[in-house]
Structures are given as structure tokens and as C-alpha cells.
Amino acid sequence: EEQRGEMHLRIGRLLAAHMSPEKREAAIFEIVNQLNRGVALITGRDEREQLAEFNLIAGKRAKASTAYASALNYLIAGAALLPDDGWDRRHELAFTLELHRAECEFVTGALVDAELRLSALGTRAANAIEHAAVARLRVDLYMTRTQPDRAVTVGLDYLRQLGIQWSAHPTDEDARREYEQVWAQLGSRPIEVLFDLPLMSDPLALATLDVLTSLMPPASFTDANLRALVVLKAVNLSLEWGNSDASCIAYVMCGALAGARFGDHRAGLRFSNLGNELVERRGLKRVQARTYLHYGNLVMPWAKHVRSGRDVLRRAFEAANDSGDITCAAFSCASLNVNLLAAGDPLVEAQREAENGLRFAEKARFEFVVDIITAQLGLIRMLRGSTLRLGAFDDGQFDELRFERHLSTNSALALPECWYWIRKLQACFFAGDYALAVDAASRARRLRWALPQLFETAEYEFYAALSRAACWDSTLAD
């Protein structure tokens, strides 16, 4: 037993020495597993740093295969191999190991560890590209922790380093100017010609576009004008520097804004189709999950039958789950439930999907989406007769009043609270309790500023109008 470490070390050294770089990367797990077992016997600084590099390669390979626990072990081992002056001598290696480690901690639910690591990395970032990598992850992390305001602050702080001075609550005119800049850059060219733009190669533009992509969800939940600025700036970056994977979601979101915000519905559909085509035909798939989510949620239900977006939403979840984008995966679950309810699918199927989505969001500790799906599930269970009375979500385990207090005491939960009252509005309408339905509608109306999507607004208007009409008819009868 006392000779095993030496033997593992010898095997690892022989494997590393007698393989070409290409074969070495293919066999990285075999090499690293041998060397790590003999790491206590490695004393040379150069060899320890080389093994740190090998662990980084193995960690990235494991992370790409969604083996996040294994990836985390390799990354921790790699970081431990660097000497005390590692940040000075091998800054890029030390930074990359810690960044991937934070991402694995985030994905595996160690949110506090990830937050502390990213905060420390923010002080060690040596350039704008490293700052962008940290900012992107911190934005996603704070969004998962139901802190969209903090996510916005991180994103805007990064943009200020580039000279982009935005308020967290910009004006309508700010959004209009950015939209006009899109058309100024496009000129007389048709929208479809953007499909053939060259691929973006500027590192800073690529990094900034990634930050803007992560900033879209929290901006959507804090300020409509900020959401517009973020999306339109991403489009303008693409027009200036070329297309990247993140351009796809920017075009889809621009399409939704062009129609709903600026009245250019035909142009909006063309922009959105462009984003989807770039994923499908040019293979720009790194953020395909978010592209599919918004295409299936914001575009398809308005352009075709509501069910047409369902397969796209399922593909969004699969792509997000495979890539470790838990934020997008959780929102895909909630959006699929919206689609099933709006289309009038069998409630037993809707309940099964809602329960699956709730389990996923709970496992990811994404409380924001947990609250959204809880309300959806409450409505479904009431419609199936599983609650204590028609019109209420109480069922012996769920306490409606306690849930309402939970939502109302945290301003960051304005969106889940608004959706809760929309579901209550529907529940009371179907129960024939039109006075309570109108009351739920008025509560939802006070929070409608938080709604980032038109789909739910349409449902709200429909049931609110029916409830008001029903109350008016009953008053005349009395």
C-alpha cells in the first residue's frame, strides 16, 4: 500500500510523456486520475502547475458532460496545486480554475459558496473580459436567489466600465433611441440579410453580449425600459460586430419588443424568425435554450395557434438542462404550464407537468419559479376538485393566506405575486364568485408593471373583463 502513490505517479507520468497533445486530451481522465493519486509526491513547481492545467482540462470536460460533481473535484484539486504566488505567476490558470469552480457550485446548488467565490474573483479580474465572465455568473446567481435588483446592479456596474452609463430605470426616450439605432444600422437592407453577417470575433464584444444576455431576465422583472435597452443594445452590438450564439436570443427578443412596444409587428416577426433560423440553420446553439424559450413563449403563441410553441418550450428545457442553465430550465417549466392552461389541455396532464416543474425548481432552489408554479398548480388542483372549496387553493397542506403574506412582504416577488392574483382571478371566475374575481383582478392590476410577457396580460384582461361583466349583470338583476 505504501508504494501505490509512487506507482500511480509513475503511470501518470508515462501516459503524459508518451502521448501527443491531441491524444493526451482525449485520455485526460486516465492521466489526471493517476497523477492525482500520487500528487503528494510531486514537489516540482512546474510539474504541479502542469497537473493543475490537466485538472482544469478534466474539469471542463466533465462540466461539458454535466458531471458537475466530478468537475468540481478536478477543479478543486487543480486550484490546490498552485503555489502561494500562483495568482501572480499563473493568473489566467488560477482565474479560470476558480471561475469554473464557482459555476459548478452554482449549478449543484452551493449558492453561498458560489457567491463568495465570485465576489472574490471580481476583485482579482485583470481585464474587462474577466470582469464580464464574473458579472455574467453573478447576474445568473442573483436571479436564481430571487434578487433581480442585485443582478441588475452587477450588470450595470460592468457596463459602466465600458462607458455605457445606464440608469436602472431609464426613460421611454432612452429605449426609443436605442430602437432607432437598430434601424439606422440596418439601413435599407432587409432584416433577413442579417443571417449572413460574419461571425463575431472581437473578444470584448462577445463577452459583453454574454453579460447582456444574462441581464435580460432580471431587467425584465425590474423595469420595462431597461429590458428594452438591454435587448436592443445586444442587437446593435451584433449589427456592428457580427453574429454570435447570443445574437439569436437578442433577435428573438427584439422581435417581441418591435411588435408589442413599438407597433412594428411584421418587422418583429421577421426579427424573431431570424433568431430562430440562426440556431436551426447556422448552428449557433450555445444559448439555444434561451432562444427557444422566448421564441416559444413570446412569438409562436401570437403568430400561430398557442400550442405551436409547446414543442419549442420542451426543447428549451432539454437544451437548458443539458447545458446546466438552470435559470432557463426552470422558466421553461413555468412557461410550459402557462401554455397548457391557456390551450385548455386535460388537467391531469397539466398537473403532471406542473408537479414535475415544481420538483425541478425546488431541487435547483430557484424560489422565484417555485412561487410561480405553486400558483399554477393551485389553480389546476382547484379545477380538479382537489382543494377544500371551489375558488380557493387551500387543500390542507397549502395555506393560501400564508402564501399571500410570503409574496407581499418581498418586493422582489412582485412578478410571482402578480401571477398568483391572475390565477386567483381565474379560480374565482370559474367558481362563480365574481366579486372576489374582481378583487383579485384589482390586486393583479397594481402589479402588472412586473409582467415581462404579453401572454399572461392577455389572460388577465380576458378573465377580468368577464368578471366585471358578470358583476354588472348581477347588479342589474338585483
**pLDDT tens track, the chain, 478 positions:** 889 999 999 999 999 888 888 888 888 999 999 999 999 898 889 999 999 999 999 999 999 888 999 999 999 999 999 988 889 989 999 999 999 999 999 988 899 999 999 999 999 999 999 999 999 999 999 988 889 899 999 999 999 999 999 999 999 999 999 999 999 999 999 999 999 999 999 999 999 999 999 999 899 888 889 999 999 999 999 999 999 999 999 999 999 899 888 989 899 999 999 999 999 999 898 889 999 999 998 888 888 888 988 999 999 999 999 888 888 999 999 999 999 998 999 999 999 999 999 999 998 888 889 999 999 999 999 999 999 999 999 998 899 999 999 999 988 788 899 999 999 999 999 999 999 999 999 998 888 776 754 444 555 556 556 666 666 665 544 4
Which residue type sits at 330? A
How far apart CA 334 and CA 358 sit, in angstroms, is: 8
- Three-state DSSP class for 199? strand
Nearest 5°: the CA angle 321, 234, 142 is 50
Say if CB 87 and CB 94 are below 8 A apart: yes
Size of the chain in residues: 478
420: its cell numbers: 398568483
Side-chain half-sphere exposure of 18, counting CA atoms within 13 A: 6
Residue for grid cell 412582504: 409
Terminal-to-terminal C-alpha distance of the chain: 92
Taken in order 339, 343, 344, 346, the sign of the CA dihedral is: negative
**Cα-Cα-Cα-Cα dihedral of 415, 421, 422, 425, to 10°?**
180
B/e letters for 150-161, b = 16+ CB within 10 Å, e = fewer, are: bbbbbbbebbee
Say if CB 427 and CB 435 are below 8 A apart: no
- Three-state DSSP class for 68? helix
Record the pTM.
0.81
